[in-house]
Amino acid sequence: MKRAYVVDAARTAVGKFGGALSSVRPDDLGAEMIKALIKRNPSIDINEIEDVILGAANQAGEDNRNVARMSLLMAGLPVTVPGLTINRLCASSLQAIADVSKNIAVGYGNMFIAGGVESMTRAPFVMPKAEAAYSRSNKVYDTSIGWRFINPKLSEMYFPFPMGETAENLVEKYGITREEQDLFAHNTQQKYQNALDAGKFKDEIIPIHIPQRKGDDIIFAQDEHPRLSSIDKLGSLNAAFRKGGTVTAGNSSGVNDGAAGLLIVSEEALKRYNLEPIAEVVSSAAAGVPPEIMGIGPVPATQKALKRAGIGVKDLDLIELNEAFAAQAIACMRDLDLNPDIVNVNGGSIAIGHPLGASGARITNTLLHELKNRPNAKYALATMCIGVGQGVAVVFKKC
């Protein structure tokens, strides 16, 4: 089995809903990310890129018809380079990383781009065709987030809880308090601000030039979702999903836009193009859990990935656990007995944002750039929960 190495990781800054990236199409975001990876690695032969695999969770609007292929063509890659778009909802781009590493392991290519893109702002409204002429019963869905077109048979088997309700289910199951959630959210915002002040994101964020109708382009190069607030302010927010609940907008991730990607190569490509690896992709795993507590998905996925890597939780030096909700992250940390001092050390998705199909590559970007700068760190984990009850985890080893 061949080894897969990450040699670079780059991302756009994450835009808030209706924010700076609202005028930028998802295929343009993907193209900018690909162009940046190519520009940052001038020694490679782009004709030798085996595939571009991007995750996208929506695919109902401008990201339809294989946004990976559209993005790579717009980035100027040769037409001979193929593109594949995959969908494992929130973990789509983390799955892309896992799939690329498996391709390299079995010798199906030496160089890949893996990542993801999502514009939740530009996600369209959709409606089904009428079952009968002149029907007045059609429903319009906002595809930014959540269920649509659910099969009645499935909804009878598994109630289609909105994502926030699944977090409330974990609150009940694990006895998580509102105070714990708000403190977690406050801490992740503070960690992000500290990391920003220390220049921690300068190597991972690529500037995006956004044309304006009048005047110069806007250069977008800083996450705009973070909202540092006091514990008192967080405590004053109303429950967002369930009457009498504890999950709020303040202790949940956002609805966001962005793109992120990694250049992943074989050992042969490392030598051929004189590339310096950041980390080896050691193992990966996906797992299923009950849809009504989808947020616990990282637990079995992490357990499987660690077993495949031949290590335990205590061997991990850094962890990125995607923060869909504070309650969900707390539940996973309890079950896995994670050391909070190594989890999301530069802030997580409650602060940075959660552009669904791009988030897996985003958390991996942040993880690997931090891993690179920690002399004594060796093993790192990226893991995420997924709507409809799944989890994905990937284990990395510093080179």
**More confident site: 100 or 133:** 100
* 385 in catalytic set: yes
What are the pLDDT digits (tens) for 363-380? 999 999 999 999 999 999
What are the pLDDT digits (tens) for 2-28? 999 999 999 999 999 999 999 999 999
**How far apart, in Å, are the Cα atoms of 212 and each of 23, 218, 225, 291?**
10, 7, 21, 43
Q: What is the pLDDT of residue 130?
A: 86
User: What distance in Å separates the CA atoms of residue 128 and residue 141, rounded to the nearest whole number?
Assistant: 9
- Give the mean model confidence (pLDDT) for residues 31-57: 98
Which CATH architecture group holds 4-123+254-398? 3-Layer(aba) Sandwich (3.40)
Q: What is the DSSP letter of 213?
A: S
- Give the mean model confidence (pLDDT) for residues 292-319: 99
* 354 in catalytic set: yes
Task: Give the residue among 75, 255, 206 at the shortest CA–CA distance from 67.
Answer: 75
Res. 138 pLDDT band, cuts 50 70 90: confident
pTM value is 0.97
Active-site residue, selected from the candidate residues 90, 186, 225, 369: 90
Average pLDDT, the chain: 97
Q: Are 383 and 284 a contacting pair, CB within 8 Å?
A: no
Tokens of residue 360, six digits: 């897996």
Residue 132 has pLDDT above 90, yes or no: no
What are the pLDDT digits (tens) for 323-358? 999 999 999 999 999 999 999 999 999 999 999 999
Q: How far is CA 255 from the centre of its chain?
A: 12
What are the pLDDT digits (tens) for 176-216? 999 999 999 999 999 999 999 999 999 999 999 999 988 89
Other Cβ atoms closer than 10 A to 276: 10
Q: What is the pLDDT of residue 294?
A: 98
Active-site residue, selected from the candidate residues 186, 225, 332, 354: 354
Question: Where in the chain are the domains?
Answer: 4-123+254-398
